[in-house]
Amino acid sequence: MNNIFNYTREKLVKYFDSIGEKKYKAVQVLEYLYQKKNFNIDNISNIKKDTVEKINKDFTFDMIQISDIKHGEDVVKYLFKLLDGDYIEAVLMKHNYGNSLCISTQVGCNMGCKFCESGRLKKVRNLDTYEMVEQILLVEKNDNIRISHVVLMGIGEPFDNYDNVINFIKIINDDKALAIGSRHITVSTCGIVPKILEFAKLGIQVNLAISLHAPTDELRNKLMPINKVYNLELLIDTLKKYIKLTNRRVTFEYILLNNINDTEECAYNLCKLISGMNAYVNLIPYNETQNFNFKRSSTSNITAFYDILKKNGINVTIRREFGGLIDAACGQLRANKGGNNS
């Protein structure tokens, strides 16, 4: 039986057409579920009872559950228990421009980035669309807030769960569902080249972020195994094609690791690598975790790195730090809880 939160408006329209109902019923159901936040279809008033009974037979309305919540300054970490008993996480970050939710796309991750807690928790499975959608719905309902921005940068590699992720984006972007604008949605990838090209051809205005974290193949090979499959030359060439196809700017995420990728040499190499691209760099101070020896770069190293990029004409920001005291690095809370594969 299909979960109702897997269904885009287009799929719901086809469903109602197939049972001889008016297609506009799809919009009524979407508004009821997503805008009124009522997850029991029995109480819907503008659809006749026998149709509601049919919907209940054809769909489930099963929800994941909030298992734990940790609060920090302008940040909230949610641990969700899935129907199969495993756990995922989402992080709410409160900005002056709105509420941003960083969601998970997989249970665990197979990319194996050496500094990442998610990679330590090997992939169990992809999340279904409904399991991604419900992270937003439950946070909005629990906190009585509206999520204005969504980042796919939690546990998992979004492009390793490509079809479900695209389906998810269609649902949350729909103005009859969560109505989150395309330019307020960011998909992060460690660099799965074929999917970047496929994503470019969709023609949607969603932001693309690249987890880069090193400016040379030698260093990136050590930190990120994906680089041995799609090296920097191939990745950068693909991103230039992406920019040409979409006329969209690319974000490079760069976690600063003390005395590893935060040297002046690395900064100059990064300038050479991305010079002339329609891109900007988001420098991220590392959230330390007990399971790795990596340390956060010193403030002086962060500042020096930033200054080199700035002086060489690179658009660069230093990300505001969230959640260091509440295990907000991807996978930390789940690891401490003891997910099925941790």
**What are the residue numbers of the active site?**
89, 330
Distances (CA, A) of 273 to 53, 161, 224, 281: 59, 28, 17, 12
Closest CA to 187 of 169, 213, 201, 212: 169
CA 93-141-331 angle, to 5 degrees, is 45
Provide, for the chain, the percentages of residues in helix, strand and coil under a 3-state DSSP scheme, each rounded to the nearest 5. Answer: 40, 20, 35
The neighbouring-strand residues paired with 125 are: 107
Matching residue, tokens 């900064």: 267
**DSSP string covering 133-160:** HHHHHHHHHHHT----EEEE-SSS-GGG
The neighbouring-strand residues paired with 187 are: 152, 208
Both tokens assigned to 255? 């976690």
Instruction: Determine the straight-line distance between the first and last CA of the chain, rounded to whole angstroms.
Output: 30
